[in-house]
Structure 1
Amino acid sequence: MADMRQQAIDAGAEEKALRDLEYARDRERLGDQAYTRGDFEGAARNFRDAKTGFVGALETAKRADVAVANNSGSNDNGYGNNGGSDEVPGLDDISIPDIGLGDSGSADLSSGLPGLFKGVAEYDSSKGSLRLNWSDGSELFKDMKRMSGDPSHAIFEGDEGVGSGQDGNYVMAGNTKGFWLVNSSFEDGVRIRAKVQFQLLINKPDFEIVLMADEGGDFYAVSYGANARVYSDGLKTSTVVSPVKMYRKSPKDWVQKREAYDIEILYVKRNEDEKGILEAKINGETTVKLTTDKYRKGFPGIRWKDTKFIIQELEISGLVDEEWAEKEINKAPQDSSEGSEDDFDF
């Protein structure tokens, strides 16, 4: 009976340690996001909470260790520890989430993940985050996959079909109709920054930045950086229109041709108890914001019709879908490429 009671205590301690670790990881993510937004007070508060969670998890594990050691000593009948192992009870048995503590999964991602991309890929194992950007369209083309549309309607290099005077200063251009995804899956957090110049809008134009897309028809999208949508099986199931009056009009009424727009789209789910937040900005101004957690992992991309555009700059960062990453690394040929070790914040 005493042994059963001790086992129950040990199991409870391990469960509490796991909860503390999960809490700490959530606080760490919140701190990173607050720091990125410039909310330094919020960042400091969440980092302090994360530290408290990590310390609490370790202390719980240590208490379990001491309890088991004492229990073993009082029942060994003078014959030592009955052949028990040298593992630390409560700590070595915990399946620790990826928080950058050097577990083998993180090591594999650090060495293998950047090599999956032709563009610049920076993986931060301490956050489980990946940042991607491309110096030219030839790199981006190799990191994307076409979902629909004629291949000729997406342009990644040269002036043909783009317009004179570009001098190759773009990573992607498009016309008529198309749908392309960046081949990198994110989970519970992704930010897309794009500098886009629109050249022509005809008929019923649309230009969507896509997030959390599966390879079917489920995804979030933000049209021209202003109005948010949710798609299921390729069909639009809901729309949240921007509260900003100008963006509620047809894009043909407000989009300025030949003017570059800085568009930023963010989706983040901070913890299990709250829904995720989808937010869009144009030139730093929030255009739409909503809460949803219908889709929590997937690919980012671009989808358009009846619009001619040029993406001059593109950067994507977020929390890596580790299941996807490990699968891709395992099937990819070995590559000697290594990612940058520069600090970065999702």
Structure 2
Amino acid sequence: MIATQTPTPIPDPLAAQSAMSVPSNAPEHCPGTESDLAGKSAACDGCANQDVCASDEPKGPDPALPLIRQRMSTVKRKILILSGKGGVGKSTFTAQLAWAFAADEETQTGVMDVDICGPSIPTIFGIAAEQVHASASGWSPVYVQDNLGAMSVGFMLPSARDAVMWRGPKKNGLIAQFLKDVDWGALDYLLVDTPPGTSDEHLSVVQYLKESGIDGAVLVTTPQEVALQDVRREISFCRKVGVRIIGLVENMAGFVCPNCKTESKIFRPTTGGAKALAEQEGIELLGSVPLDPRIGKSADHGLSFLEEYPDSPATTAYLDIIDRIRDILGD
């Protein structure tokens, strides 16, 4: 915990940007002010900061990195939850993983939602009406329970209907603030819920956590080929940026009737599903979670599915996957 650091004021995500070095009209594919291509890339054409970025004056390291390294020094494990495709249940899986870790009262768990344009963690945890507060030691996470806290741009929006329409530099700035200004305290696990794809948010998290270390990534998919195609890109991303892949989770692997327990295939694995992909890519299939309609119901009401429906086959699958993640991490 950094008791002496004065936190950055909590921003209004819909207000005009005034405190960041990059103007709000920066190009969408801005290479970043620290890049050798700053001001020289085709994406920089028309940017108000093009001449400044293109100057030969030394740019130096990002001043946020030492603060992030210091803040993250009290976080034992940092895990990214990734998916190439939207709608595969990544955020729901992140929440269940967090609830499972926090079931042990001695385990301190945090969830950082960096899906800037589609934050769903506040709703899944049942804390969407809460707001972020600042103290002398930083922004305070919103707590689901004493040992489980979350941070999301969703807490900063005037209403759930407001859209966050940001270009890359503003997204990157908020992610840096989540890492350096949030008083996470001493955590056993920090789970980072990312948006689909391999874009600004993913690159920023990897860059900012490079020095303090990322323990690995869990990839979430559904069985059909259209989802597996995107996961292949996610696997390539992890390998290119040097992030360890803990394993692959197949979500919605089949529909389980809550009454008769019969399982039916909803998303048919026409190319072999996650099992075949894991074998092809040489990564571990952590497990398959059947589709139980009560998972969505629990997420809508901010409840832990694992606690509400302990006898569901999906709960058994979740717990087996979580135990395997612990084993791989040596916990």
Q: TM-score, normalised by structure 2?
A: 0.22
Q: Which has the larger radius of gyration?
A: 1
